[in-house]
């Protein structure tokens, strides 16, 4: 895909007009129109301003720079690089601090990077092959050999996961996991907020809400794509059931 097509596609996905993007990027609608038609060639600074104005993920910003003929601006450091040791330490601290409630770290593909020991309560009974690294938490959740048989509100939770895969453009994984569940039907009066995970466990039925945290100021692709997903009790019974279910976290990147 050339730069003009890539820029136009990302702008339309963001539902921005040429004028809105031009104002954000400090240029004119005419110039932006020329860029999207291939009649003008952008400089590196303009490409970076456009990617920032579109609020693109760092990986997409690099892709646009490459499409325009420039080197990527944002590094992609291997997770096991020594330079990320402070990040590992910070994530381990967060995982431990969230006990007795489950928490995990995943990458952009949903592969498990780290978890605290409370997460074991959620994965009990899952097939060994689904728990063998690299563990994909989305597949673990919806596979009939994973959490799915114990998820009481599977249709609702599956819709939540498949929507996330759509947002992350994980097309192949979306196609695979869609085959495990019934077609999504949005019920009348559906509000779409704070759907809990309703799960059968050895400690009884749990109702868990989730929060997702990212490194908002990350300038490294790897770091920007890490997500901390923390599970929180949605009712007092779940909070009581989880009390005492704690231990030390599995080290991030282990």
Is there a single domain that holds both residue 93 and residue 198? Answer: yes
Q: Where are the alpha helices (DSSP H) in the chain?
A: 3-13, 18-25, 29-37, 44-53, 58-67, 85-97, 119-123, 137-142, 154-167, 171-178, 221-225, 236-242
Mean per-residue pLDDT of the chain: 89
* Mean pLDDT lowest among 19-33, 35-49, 96-110, 210-224: 210-224
Q: Per the domain annotation, does 253 fall within a domain?
A: no
Percent of the residues in the chain that have a pLDDT greater than 70, as a whole number: 91
Q: Which domain holds residue 54?
A: 3-67
Domain CATH code at residue 123: 3.30.450.180
Is there a single domain that holds both residue 112 and residue 237? Answer: yes
pLDDT at position 149: 95
pLDDT surpasses 70 at 187: no
Is there a single domain that holds both residue 18 and residue 88? Answer: no
pLDDT at position 115: 95
pLDDT at position 218: 87
Domain boundary among 34, 67, 100: 67
Q: Per the domain annotation, does 157 fall within a domain?
A: yes
pTM, full prediction: 0.81
pLDDT surpasses 70 at 216: yes
* Mean predicted confidence (pLDDT) in 90-112: 94
pLDDT surpasses 60 at 184: no
Q: Per the domain annotation, does 249 fall within a domain?
A: no
Is there a single domain that holds both residue 90 and residue 20? Answer: no
- Measured N-to-C along each axis, helices 18-25 and 44-53 cross at an angle, to the nearest 10 degrees, of 110
Domain boundary among 40, 67, 94: 67
Domain CATH code at residue 18: 1.10.260.40
The number of folded domains in the chain is 2
Could you give the C-alpha distances from 62 to 106, 221, 243, in angstroms and in order? Answer: 21, 9, 44
């Amino acid at each position: 895909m050339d730069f003009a097509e890539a820029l136009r596609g990302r702008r339309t996905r963001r539902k921005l007009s040429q004028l809105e993007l031009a104002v954000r990027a400090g240029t004119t609608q005419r110039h932006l129109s020329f860029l999207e038609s291939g009649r003008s060639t952008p400089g590196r600074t303009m490409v970076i301003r456009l990617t920032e104005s579109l609020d693109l993920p760092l990986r997409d910003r690099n892709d646009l720079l490459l499409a325009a003929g420039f080197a990527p601006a944002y590094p992609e450091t291997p997770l096991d690089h020594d330079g990320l040791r402070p990040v590992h330490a910070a994530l381990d601290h967060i995982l431990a601090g969230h006990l007795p409630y489950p928490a995990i770290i995943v990458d952009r593909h949903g592969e498990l990077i780290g978890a605290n020991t409370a997460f074991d309560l959620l994965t009990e009974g899952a097939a060994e092959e689904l728990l063998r690294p690299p563990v994909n938490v989305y597949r673990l959740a919806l596979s009939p050999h994973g959490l799915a048989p114990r998820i009481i509100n599977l249709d609702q939770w599956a819709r939540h996961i498949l929507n996330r895969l759509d947002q992350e453009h994980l097309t192949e994984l979306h196609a695979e996991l869609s085959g495990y569940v019934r077609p999504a039907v949005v019920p009348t009066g559906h509000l779409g907020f704070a759907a809990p995970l309703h799960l059968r466990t050895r400690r009884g039925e749990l109702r868990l809400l989730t929060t997702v945290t990212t490194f908002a100021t990350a300038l490294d692709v790897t770091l920007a794509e890490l997500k901390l997903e923390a599970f929180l009790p949605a009712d007092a019974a779940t909070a009581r059931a989880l009390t005492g279910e704690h231990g030390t976290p599995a080290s991030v990147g282990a």
